[in-house]
Amino acid sequence: MPRPRKPANPFRYFHSSPEVIRLVVMMYVRFPLSLRNVEDLLFERGIDLCHETVRLWWNRFGPVFAADIRRQRVSRMRGLRHWRWHLDEMYVKLNGEMVYLWRAVDHEGEILESFITRKRDKSAALAFMKKALKRHGQPGHCQTCVAGALPRC
């Protein structure tokens, strides 16, 4: 039986430390700074980078850090009893075809899960609910719109 592989380190081909990369990306994302402003602030702290390096790191590591933050936030929210979800569906046009978009949004407005189906029926609603519950756990309270296909929580 093969041994499960560890996920590859995303910083493995970069010569800077992961702490510096995280600092650069978080400075650019968190504060309303331009790439050159981040470059100047880091130069004042003794880190000499080009603004293109900041852009490259933001494009490469921004989604990774956002996923980590989202995962940590959801794991903290699972322990709260007042964690509420709002479930809804809407009819949208996607690639020229009308489909149903199912969404689960928590009480802070963060989109937890989305699901696209061609039909609006019980099996589609249950598949969406199973996916959301498997990924995020049981909410304290679940509110639905007046859709008949969504089960009451």
Domain residue ranges of the chain, discontinuous segments joined by +: 18-78, 84-144
- pLDDT tens digits for 65-74? 888 887 787 7
CB 35 within 8 A of CB 57: no
Which pLDDT band, with edges at 50, 70 and 90, does 151 fall under? low
- pLDDT tens digits for 69-110? 877 877 777 666 677 888 888 899 999 999 999 998 888 788
What's the CA gap between 76 and 46, in Å, rounded?
Answer: 36
What's the CA gap between 120 and 145, in Å, rounded?
Answer: 14
The whole-number pLDDT of residue 97 equals 93
The whole-number pLDDT of residue 37 equals 94
The whole-number pLDDT of residue 148 equals 54
pLDDT of 150 over the 60 cut = no
The pTM of this model reads 0.57
The whole-number pLDDT of residue 55 equals 94
